[in-house]
Structure 1
Amino acid sequence: MKFINFFIRRPITTFSLNVGILLIGLFAFEQSSIDLFPSITLPTLSVVISAPGLDVSTIEQKITVPVEERFNTIDGLKDLWSRSSANEAQFVLKFYWGESIDYAALKIRELMKNVELPLEAKSPQVFRWNPAEEPILRADISSRRPLVELTQLVEKKFLPKLERIEGVSKVDLSGTHHRQVLIKIDTDRLASYGLTFFHIAQALEKNNIQKQIGTFTEAKHELTLKLDGELKTLGAIEELPIVISPKKTLKLKDLAEIQLGYEKQKILSRISEETSIGIEILKSHEAATLDVISETKKHLSKLQNDFPEVKITYAKDDSIYIQTSRRILFGNFWQGAGLSLILVLLFLKSIASTIVIATTIPISIIGTFAFMKYFDVTQNVFSLAGITLACGMVVDSAIILLENIHRHHFEEGKSPWRAAVEGTAEVSAGVFTSVLTTLAIFIPIVICVKGLVGILFQDIAFTFVVALTLSLIVGFTLIPCLSYLLLKRRLNISKLTKPIRIPILEKGAKKVQDFYLSSVAYLLDRPRSAFFVISTLYAGSWIAICGLPGFDLIPLGEFNRFKIEAKAPQTTSLQETNAHTTHIEHKLKADPSVKTFATTVKDNTAKLFVDLKKPIPSLSKAQSYLTHQRDEHDQLADITLKILDHPKIDTSEGQGAPIVLVLQNADPNYREQAMIQLKQALQKVSDVVYIETNEAQTESIIQIQFLTDKLKEYGLTTSYLSELVYGSLEGLEATHLSNPATDEDWTIFIQDPKLNQASQQSIEALHQLPIITTLRGERYVLPLETFANIERKIQPLSIERTNHIPSDTLFAHLQTHRRSLQEIRSDIEQVIQTTTHFMKDITFESTLKVLNETFSQLFLALLFSIVLVYMILAAQFESFTQPISLILTLPLAAGGVLLGVTLWGFHLDVIVMLGIILLVGITVDAGILIIEYTNILRHRGMDRKEALLTALRSRMRPVFMTAITDVLGTLPMAFSSGAGAEMYQGFGVTTVFGITGATFLTLFSVPLTYSLLEDVEEYLHLKWLWFKAIHLKERTAL
């Protein structure tokens, strides 16, 4: 009471407090960062250990197994995956969400110091592993300039400026092409002089130096000494002296042919069939996407002005999606706020009263941005969805308070002061409890729901809780103050206070109220009929719960982008793969619905990201379009094609496919047979496409086994011979040449073309590879076969292990328009159990695993929410039985939810599930007001039936007003479409239909269950007294 008195007596203080919240919020709104989603980082680390020259089996035995044993001691490790392949061991460590990845990385580096690795092994590389990380911007640079010149321009002018932009973590270039100085050697001729390509490489490196070598003092001034010994021209390379012996020196041009040519291009890049250089921008973990993209595009625009012959095409721009999604969300907010206030005006029939309530919206909503700024919460789809969701609910407290103040003044004849103070105090407990029950449901969500979904929900929870908390502050400070001034006529708004009369609405409201009151009064006098009605309502609700659709994760949004992945056989050259890719590009170019497509070709694979001119809103139509695309491109021989949608959020935790089955068994033959049968089994499951396995494939290799005794005899090492053989066959990048005339950097590459070609045709060339060595002061040129056994062998391409057990993996994708993930998983389990006997060895990973973990957590959060709400209500009513009548109203929302998700065609995804959990806190609000006032009236001496009917009559209008404002506030979300709408549309549908259904039924159920439960309580109490009396009588008789 004193708290309310203070703010009514001091209106300037009250206004200053609320306006201060508003102004701080406005400032924070302009300063806060804008992003697409909350920052998401997988709790995963990758460790790579390179060991050139070691085969797969040796890598597994001497590196993979010992390292895995060490990793097993790290705290918080959830899963460990490893792959042993020729020359390399790779480890992926998955930790539980919430573990410190930085500490884990430090622990790994410490452990690796104590692991004994082969001499060939290099230092382990530890880095954050997030294959799902995608560039936020891709710009393709094209020009009439030759590609080599364009590469030089991009690397010298574009790249340095882009890398210096704040928030940019990495800039990737694709499709570049460089000049190269090729030194063609003849290994046999060099051997005749006692030289190898190592000698040539060392001579080039030693004569291509530029560095600071000290300082020089002259006239008390200290000058830096800089050595400039760089090779700058082809002539300098040709004249490079090569020492043959102390008495003989030859020029490099006498030993090799030197040419200026082009390096072998490893990656090709195009934009809509036009050759380009792709620039992909990746942001740092802390940076805001919109800020980074905006700054990057400013730099690129300036560079395009500086170089008008260059054309820049944006193949991907997340800022467009972000801006569009924000515009849609703010539109939803203003529409919801407008509809809510129109409803308030219709009920209160006063413009002035509507304005009083309307002040709650800007202060609560804009004030939320101040807390977002302080706690580093970005303006993203989920945080703004939380604000929009709260839009209609922030006025609930103000409506109830203003309605009760007016009732005290106009119906009970109290003075404006007493009406403001006593009217607020009377419902303050109920208002506080109703808001608290709504806020409390987010505690279990934050505590129980972990992982990707937990991170997404945190921002919704934060903004929703802050907005409702601020609405409570406004409700208990500004609303009583303004109501008092309004009633006292100190505000000169006489025209605005004139009541608005709408006879049709008034008659309709009166009929609804009379219907409820007469129905409840009739049933209160007939407990059996009341029990039958309540039982029917609950039975129908549980039938609706059973009819809810299957579980799913993040829903797919509008379809405006897809990707094509093409894969040729392993031995296919880049040129052959590119030829196949151009066929795909020609068909895309001819498609009138395609806007642009960016192509990247590497080795035997190609990726094309295709943007459509207009989004396809329906998933069924999107599926038809993708099916058409598959039919169009399915005619390429020996090419494996995958045409997939491109979701904004990857739920596979970096696995690359939504369906991943891992089969663990030590027997490779068992795994091979299992993979074949599993692939056949999954082909029977509808909606599952692109099934592939990575069972241990083999390759034919030429194994060089060095003879230890021979190496020791001639003073050679395996490391030296390995590098010599590799360089002789593949060539060696010796150093770089900086050409000041053209400002170009050329690589200097040494290769024996004859040996390279011969080694590809015959193993004999490898046997005869000359090795120069010295024995007892004599120089010898001996063939490689002298020091090694060379033979053909079959070996696995790689060996995978999951949690220390050898494993193989099956990957599969899903149709765009499909059944729920729960139904698909159930079908997969059933078909595996009925057609194979491998189920005991199979582990579900990726999206299906996330689905199970997430819904286990969500159901725990739902149960926790119900218990928490019950405890709050029990504390409010100081009763264990009265809250039961409110908890029993929770299933009543199920019918509305079922209707909504059915009409919208939703699965029971995590967005819908969050809406259902939110309904736990909202559904009880109406009952709180009724029971709270019923208890007050009974405390004043009114009998139960009359108190219930009076409370129902008194609170019916605020109950309907708050419920309808909640519905209207979220109604635009339910009908929203466009960028990002799929991330919150489920909230809107669930709350709109859930609140609507629950409110109408609650007005029946709460008075009836309240009465029935009290009758049961009294009956049990009488039975207990009778039992005690009988027991006492028996003891007295004894």
Structure 2
Amino acid sequence: MEKLLISRLQPLETKMLKKILSNPKRLFVCVSLIVLYGIYSGYKLPISMYPATSKPSVNLWVPYGTYSAKKFRADFGSQIEAQLEKISNNQTKIDEIDAYYREESAFYEIEFAWGTAYDMALKEVELVAASISSQLPREIADMMGVWQRNSNSGFFAASLYSSEIGIRKLYSIIHPILKPELDKIKDAENARIWNPEKYSLNIKLLPEKLAQYNIFPKTIRAQIRAALDSFSGSNIKIGAKGQRFQIQSSIENLEELKRMNIVINDKIFIQLSDLAIINYGKDLHRERSFKTNGLNSLILFANPKSGANIKTMSEDIMKVLRDKKHLLPKSLKTKLIVDPSEAIKSSVLSLSKDVLVATLMAVLVLYLFIGGFKNIATAAIEIPLSMVISFIAMGMIDMNLNLISLGGLALAAGMNVDASVVVLENIFKHKEVWNKLNKPLDRFQQRLQLVYEAVSEVALPVILSISTTLIVFIPMAFTSDLTNAVLGDLARAVIFSHAISGLVALVIVPAVRVVILNSQKEQKAPLDKPFTKFEQHYENLLTVLIKKRFKKFFAICIPFTLLGITGFTIFPHLPKEVIGKPGSDWIYMYVNAYDTQSARHMDNILQEVEKKALATLDPKQVDYTWLEMHNRNGGQIMFKMLQRKNLDAAKLKLKELFTNTANRNYYISTWNPAQLPLPEEKHFLVTITGSGEELYQTASRLKAFLNEDGTYQRIKVNPANNSQYSYTFKPDPIRWNILQRAGSDLSLSDIADISQLSQEPSKLGDLEVNNEQVSIEMSLRDERYTQIKFLENYPLKIQNKVIPLKALGQFESVKTISSTHVRDGQEQVTLSAFLDDENNNWEVLAKKMANKIKNNLDTIITSDQVSLEIQYPQKELKSSLNQLAQSLILSIGLIFFLLWMQFQSVKQVSIIMMTIPLGISGVLIALYVFNSYLSLNSALGIILLNGITVNNSILLTEVTNELRKKGLRGLDLILSATKKRLRPILITSLTTILGMFPVALGLGDGGKILQPLGIAVCFGLIFATGMTLFVVPILLYQKEKSLNITENIGQPLILNEQDTTAQSEYLS
């Protein structure tokens, strides 16, 4: 088979390679044009922090209106869940559907599979919502909402303020100028200016007037909405031109709204102003507010579309602000609060420096081992050429420059010179032979012949080495979900760059040598003398080991023993994570307050927390703070640190200062505006299934058990705290029947509507007031009817008599379940626990906690109808690592098949592949020693290392076979083979190791993301190479010895003229 492969390759080389090398100038012109196009392609590549991943999550929100949660779930809930499940198909596969039935609304979370198009996922849910809305009451259908939960964790925020102009007036000036341009930003889901002092129209109904005219809010609501409706018809021909037929709304300004007649019983007309107080003023229900360094301001806020480029979005917003600056007030000040583009630029620039350092490291190795400017340039040219030409391929498949793809290029930078080094080394060897034979190299054809012979000799090993490196990525094509989303760009970058490096090594490098080759002796490298001494010591040590007894046993046992020891002792204790997190200079604090009475109260709490935090932290370390109140029960404070090195100490101080209490809950963490949106990293997960009060009592007991144990610092129950009292109204059947027979329009939904309008306004539409679109909201005059005595005495007119509501039924407090979580038709509660110390081995702790719970089940579970299941908390990580394990096994099989096709010897292939367990052991030891993580990156490093480490064995085995054909046998054969390939092995290994060294250090903003990959490849290869230089030669010697041909060493060899002259060189 080997002869067959060579015989087929030789004609191809003769026709193609020699023809290409015969005209170097034409080749250089073509390559120059390709390089220019590659530079242009690289310039056009979009830049982002991470690859453009696609895992849509769509939310559907349905308010109950006047329905109870129980009735809505019974009448519509199961139907909605069933219709959502029907969405799942080959194009829009659904992973999970979670339904939450809360006190006032139903909420559905639809998680789609990785790779599903965002727009298709949203469209499918919108179609279901449209279908459902036709079956729901209008007041519910009109309020339904469908939106895509943003997969980007970052956002853009800038504060806009003026010392001379008030916020409201400032908004009225800048909003018309900026809004049209902000709406054009294609990567933004929405880009808007938030005005905390926005005005609204509030229609405050007067309960006594409603009772007087026996009218209910639903009637007024329906008539106002109808009056606000406008419609568009077709074109009407008027003379020569057509005009669009429009039906205007009957209310177009505030005065018309006040004068609007409400029709009662088809005959009575009452003006709206007689039934309600109509106020135009600040929206009192607008609870959200922002402060920068304690000052109120407008906020220019934008969040990206799912899958969009957040860096491009931020840059487009900044361009809008610059372009419109001349139209804005001169006193306007802008302060960037969150700009993700800066974080992305910093991280990408940092890793780009790593790529440059990797290139320089590779050049340094070439200089030390090869020497001579021409020699270094010839080999090093492979790095920039392969990288630049890769940009063309990356652009063709819509890749972008991100931390992952740049990590692939950094990894490839060290690997890419391997093929050039092998080619150059062989050209030098052939040149030495030609010099000994006194063959001239003055003529072009002579140089061409030498280079061609040298390249032809190593072409197959070079192709085989590159193939074994690239073939490990074939299984990656069959991975899915998170694995492909995170590692796909890295794999593609390595494939493109390394494959192109093979073409450069076999075509461009030889062409350069054809041009510059001469008869002069090659310049000695700086490490020639030290390397000669190292070579001698290595040969002596190898000779001693080969002559030892039981060498075969040790050579075979060492790799597998190491693999077994590291697999059983180190692997289970390595902490696991999906991917490293980028560095950050933001501290994020979320404050929950359960005892607040109003938005103002919550705002005061946040300001007190901010003041206390700043008093504790060093003022010189905090650049500025940003406070955002979400609602009356929660808000966040963000601290922008001046220097990242102070962040961990500051975060620890805040955690010590703010501890959770019964009424306060604090969550303090770091945050990066451009970090990869990944599934929440839970450290412990329990699913409790059942129904009724027992289900939630079990969850409560389990939470108390975990709190008492103290292993986990943060525990979250979903749904949370379901046991609470509801104030219920039970209608009296007899009185209600009398009421219906009397012709009253009163319904139970009217009573619920009255209660809702006492606290939450109902949005009716929009109206233009003072050249500004404001929302129209309807509510009761005040919030008295949220109090029991007022609600019970709400006036109702029955047969010309006004009676209190309590006369029609009975009020009482009843313990109820406020929220229900349904998955796959089964009611359940999930409990998630989290560790603050990310360096803790959460897997080991989770196993210990699982055993504790199992030993205390009797005290935790409250009923036989309730079941408790402890689940793996990071199922996506587990699935990804399982896929990579399968890829590892498949890649080993592919390498074996490829090597067997070349060598046709199971023994030789087994010897070559002995480096694989050495590489895996080296990675595990390195990750353990450097306290790193077993992540998707480091797992990929293990797979990649399989392809890299066998290359050294291939070089040794290939030259051993070559020298055997020359007549060498036994110990001389092995020592000559190792001596001939020791320099290329060390060069190729060192270029890869030093190329990944900057990544292994994890420096810079994005350093932590790829650090496990750098550690895996860098230190794993050090270990594997060191062991390979002894294990493989020993096994090759044993194979040679087993052939029982060592007795032929002393016999005369039949050599050709060239071999006779060069024999001493081979034997030296």
Rounded Cα–Cα distance in structure 2 between residues aligned with 1:124 and 1:233: 24
Q: CA deviation at 1:655?
A: 5.0
Query: Which stretch has the larger CA shift, 265-274 or 241-250?
Result: 241-250
Q: 1:615 aligns with which of 625, 644, 658?
A: 644
Rounded Cα–Cα distance in structure 2 between residues aligned with 1:235 and 1:127: 34
Q: CA deviation at 1:824?
A: 3.2
Q: Which residue of 2 aligns with 1:870?
A: 896
Rounded Cα–Cα distance in structure 2 between residues aligned with 1:982 and 1:568: 35
**Pairing 1:86–2:103 present:** yes
Q: CA deviation at 1:66?
A: 4.2
Q: Which residue of 1 aligns with 2:624?
A: 596
Rounded Cα–Cα distance in structure 1 between residues aligned with 2:920 and 2:169: 66
Q: 2:333 aligns with which of 292, 295, 311?
A: 311
DSSP-derived class of the 1:392 partner: helix
Q: CA deviation at 1:526?
A: 4.7
Contact 1:213–1:226 (CA<8 Å) still a contact in 2?
Answer: yes
DSSP-derived class of the 1:177 partner: coil
Change in Cα spacing, 1:208 to 1:672, as seen in structure 2 (3 Å) is: closer
Q: CA deviation at 1:85?
A: 1.8
Q: 1:50 aligns with which of 60, 63, 66?
A: 63
Q: Which residue of 2 aligns with 1:980?
A: 1006
Q: CA deviation at 1:444?
A: 2.1
**Pairing 1:342–2:370 present:** no
Letter in 2 for 1:147: I
Q: 1:966-987: CA deviations, max 9, x gaps?
A: 1222222223412111111222
Instruction: Show the 5 A alignment for 1:179-258.
Output: 179-193=199-213, 195-196=215-216, 220-222=240-242, 256-258=276-278
Rounded Cα–Cα distance in structure 1 between residues aligned with 2:549 and 2:739: 101
Change in Cα spacing, 1:258 to 1:846, as seen in structure 2 (3 Å) is: farther
Contact 1:43–1:94 (CA<8 Å) still a contact in 2?
Answer: yes
Q: Which residue of 2 aligns with 1:485?
A: 515
Q: CA deviation at 1:440?
A: 1.3
Change in Cα spacing, 1:18 to 1:570, as seen in structure 2 (3 Å) is: farther
Q: CA deviation at 1:383?
A: 0.7
Contact 2:47–2:401 (CA<8 Å) still a contact in 1?
Answer: yes
Letter in 2 for 1:596: Y
Rounded Cα–Cα distance in structure 1 between residues aligned with 2:342 and 2:470: 34
Change in Cα spacing, 1:552 to 1:502, as seen in structure 2 (3 Å) is: same
Q: CA deviation at 1:27?
A: 0.9
Contact 1:662–1:807 (CA<8 Å) still a contact in 2?
Answer: yes
Q: 1:498-548: CA deviations, max 9, x gaps?
A: 854466x32211122122223334444555345336545654564445335
Q: Which residue of 1 aligns with 2:609?
A: 584
Change in Cα spacing, 1:189 to 1:56, as seen in structure 2 (3 Å) is: closer
Change in Cα spacing, 1:865 to 1:825, as seen in structure 2 (3 Å) is: farther
Rounded Cα–Cα distance in structure 2 between residues aligned with 1:178 and 1:790: 39
**Pairing 1:60–2:73 present:** yes
Letter in 2 for 1:645: T
Rounded Cα–Cα distance in structure 2 between residues aligned with 1:787 and 1:569: 35
Q: Which residue of 2 aligns with 1:921?
A: 947
**Pairing 1:829–2:850 present:** yes
Change in Cα spacing, 1:117 to 1:1009, as seen in structure 2 (3 Å) is: farther
Letter in 1 for 2:100: R
Residue segments in structure 1 that go unaligned for 5+ positions in a row: 490-496, 773-777, 1020-1038
Q: 1:672-694: CA deviations, max 9, x gaps?
A: 23442344236535464355563
Q: CA deviation at 1:924?
A: 1.0
Rounded Cα–Cα distance in structure 2 between residues aligned with 1:912 and 1:892: 16
Rounded Cα–Cα distance in structure 1 between residues aligned with 2:1044 and 2:134: 77
Query: Which stretch has the larger CA shift, 550-559 or 191-200?
Result: 191-200
Q: Which residue of 2 aligns with 1:393?
A: 415
Rounded Cα–Cα distance in structure 2 between residues aligned with 1:31 and 1:847: 41
Letter in 2 for 1:507: K
Q: Which residue of 2 aligns with 1:438?
A: 469
Change in Cα spacing, 1:498 to 1:970, as seen in structure 2 (3 Å) is: farther
**Pairing 1:269–2:280 present:** no
Rounded Cα–Cα distance in structure 1 between residues aligned with 2:469 and 2:265: 89
Contact 2:585–2:672 (CA<8 Å) still a contact in 1?
Answer: no
Residue segments in structure 2 that go unaligned for 5+ positions in a row: 1-12, 440-445, 1046-1068
Change in Cα spacing, 1:100 to 1:39, as seen in structure 2 (3 Å) is: closer
Q: Which residue of 1 aligns with 2:54?
A: 41
Contact 2:58–2:147 (CA<8 Å) still a contact in 1?
Answer: yes
Query: Which stretch has the larger CA shift, 104-113 or 554-563?
Result: 104-113
Q: 2:181 aligns with which of 161, 164, 184?
A: 161
**Pairing 1:426–2:449 present:** no
Q: 1:157-191: CA deviations, max 9, x gaps?
A: 33332121122222355553222344444332354
Letter in 2 for 1:93: I
Letter in 1 for 2:881: F
Letter in 1 for 2:941: G
Rounded Cα–Cα distance in structure 1 between residues aligned with 2:758 and 2:171: 29
Contact 1:409–1:416 (CA<8 Å) still a contact in 2?
Answer: no
Rounded Cα–Cα distance in structure 2 between residues aligned with 1:846 and 1:302: 52
DSSP-derived class of the 1:984 partner: helix
DSSP-derived class of the 1:987 partner: helix
Change in Cα spacing, 1:711 to 1:506, as seen in structure 2 (3 Å) is: farther
Q: CA deviation at 1:402?
A: 1.0
DSSP-derived class of the 2:588 partner: strand
Q: Which residue of 1 aligns with 2:1055?
A: none
Contact 1:675–1:810 (CA<8 Å) still a contact in 2?
Answer: no
Change in Cα spacing, 1:749 to 1:93, as seen in structure 2 (3 Å) is: closer
Q: Which residue of 2 aligns with 1:793?
A: 814
**Pairing 1:514–2:536 present:** yes
DSSP-derived class of the 2:644 partner: strand
Change in Cα spacing, 1:735 to 1:819, as seen in structure 2 (3 Å) is: closer
Contact 1:42–1:653 (CA<8 Å) still a contact in 2?
Answer: no
Rounded Cα–Cα distance in structure 2 between residues aligned with 1:43 and 1:730: 32
DSSP-derived class of the 1:610 partner: strand
Q: 1:330 aligns with which of 352, 356, 364?
A: 352
Contact 2:699–2:717 (CA<8 Å) still a contact in 1?
Answer: no
Contact 1:304–1:311 (CA<8 Å) still a contact in 2?
Answer: no
Query: Which stretch has the larger CA shift, 717-726 or 152-161?
Result: 717-726
DSSP-derived class of the 2:574 partner: coil
Could you tell me the TM-score, scaled by structure 2's length? 0.85
DSSP-derived class of the 1:92 partner: strand
Change in Cα spacing, 1:728 to 1:691, as seen in structure 2 (3 Å) is: closer
Rounded Cα–Cα distance in structure 1 between residues aligned with 2:704 and 2:173: 49
Rounded Cα–Cα distance in structure 1 between residues aligned with 2:427 and 2:695: 77
Q: 1:909-947: CA deviations, max 9, x gaps?
A: 332222222111111111101101111222344324333
Q: 1:245-278: CA deviations, max 9, x gaps?
A: 9998766555554444322122122222211233
Between the two proteins, what is the percent identity of the paired residues?
20
Q: Which residue of 2 aligns with 1:1027?
A: none
Q: 1:823-844: CA deviations, max 9, x gaps?
A: 3333332332333367994456
Rounded Cα–Cα distance in structure 2 between residues aligned with 1:214 and 1:576: 53
DSSP-derived class of the 1:377 partner: coil
Q: Which residue of 2 aligns with 1:297?
A: 318
Contact 2:582–2:675 (CA<8 Å) still a contact in 1?
Answer: no
Q: CA deviation at 1:811?
A: 2.9
Q: 1:338-370: CA deviations, max 9, x gaps?
A: 121122122222211111112211210011111
Q: Which residue of 2 aligns with 1:417?
A: 448
Contact 1:594–1:612 (CA<8 Å) still a contact in 2?
Answer: yes
Rounded Cα–Cα distance in structure 1 between residues aligned with 2:350 and 2:819: 49
Q: CA deviation at 1:437?
A: 1.1
Q: 2:156 aligns with which of 124, 134, 137?
A: 137
Q: 2:486 aligns with which of 456, 475, 483?
A: 456
Q: 1:97-117: CA deviations, max 9, x gaps?
A: 456676666766777859996
Letter in 2 for 1:954: K
Rounded Cα–Cα distance in structure 1 between residues aligned with 2:161 and 2:334: 7
Q: Which residue of 1 aligns with 2:37?
A: 24
Contact 1:92–1:129 (CA<8 Å) still a contact in 2?
Answer: no
Q: 1:279-324: CA deviations, max 9, x gaps?
A: 3322234543322211111112344542233322222111111111
**Pairing 1:856–2:882 present:** yes
Q: 1:420-460: CA deviations, max 9, x gaps?
A: 11211111111111111111112223323x33243110000
